[in-house]
Structure 1
Amino acid sequence: MKNEKFTFIKTDKKLIKLYFDDVTVIKGLGNYVEISTVSEKKYVYYKSLKDLIANLPNEFMRVHNSYIVNLTNVDLFEDNHIVLKDVKIAIGKSYKECLLSTFNKFLL
């Protein structure tokens, strides 16, 4: 899936086409995840964060035990938080160093 621009997810007994660029945040809910999009739609999908992150493109990064973010949709990074579309997400201690090194690649 890493080279694809979209995927299909099964939610509410439907297969929904989901473009990776539209995804902002993926929140873990036990064995389910809640996928939030740029258009503020939310989808609940049966898969764990651990299984999901292995199949996502490189622009997705786990920043907390409960969150995966799409780095292309990050608005700002301050202190120990990332802001995407007015949603503030805390960064876990074990994920901070990797996130900072990734951001440093994009600095001018």
Structure 2
Amino acid sequence: MENRTFAFIKTDKKLVKLFFKDIVVFKGLGNYVEVHTIDEKRYIYYRTLKDLIESLPDEFMRVHNSYIVNLTNIDSFEDNQLVCGNLKITVAKSYKDCLLNTISKMML
């Protein structure tokens, strides 16, 4: 299961299969996480962002105390704002250098 492409989350008393490529952003809500997908669905389940980031693949990066983004689903980055579809996410100062360094490795 080292190279898995999906995970299950427990939400609304059922298990939902989510492919990592379909996840746009995780938003922290205290002890809960809200997942936004590319087809604009939202799921809320019990987990902290701190626990979650440790079990995610490398294409996910924390950019704010309340947000983890999927780098493959970023549309643009300007003025400390990431645009991912219809979502605008502010990048915290403490995460900006790491994000810029990672993005620079992906540039042509």
Q: How many residues align?
A: 108
**Using the alignment, how far apart are the partners of 2:78 and 2:3 within structure 1?**
30
**Using the alignment, how far apart are the partners of 1:40 and 1:103 within structure 2?**
24
The aligned residue for residue 71 of structure 1 is: 71
Residue pair 1:2, 1:57 contacting (<8 A) in 2 also: no
Q: Could you say what the CA RMSD is over the residues aligned between the two structures, in angstroms?
A: 1.0
Residue pair 1:59, 1:71 contacting (<8 A) in 2 also: yes
The aligned residue for residue 50 of structure 1 is: 50
TM-score normalized by the length of structure 1: 0.97
The residue matched to 1:61 in structure 2 has which SS? strand
**Using the alignment, how far apart are the partners of 2:19 and 2:86 within structure 1?**
21
Task: Report the CA distance between 1:2 and its aligned residue.
Answer: 5.7
Runs of 4+ in 1 over 2 A off after TM superposition: none
Point out where structure 1 has 5 or more consecutive residues left out of the alignment.
none
Task: Report the CA distance between 1:75 and its aligned residue.
Answer: 0.2
The aligned residue for residue 3 of structure 2 is: 3
TM-score normalized by the length of structure 2: 0.97
**Using the alignment, how far apart are the partners of 1:37 and 1:107 within structure 2?**
24
Paired residue type of 1:81:
Q
Task: Report the CA distance between 1:23 and its aligned residue.
Answer: 0.3
The aligned residue for residue 103 of structure 1 is: 103
Paired residue type of 2:37:
T
Task: Report the CA distance between 1:3 and its aligned residue.
Answer: 2.0
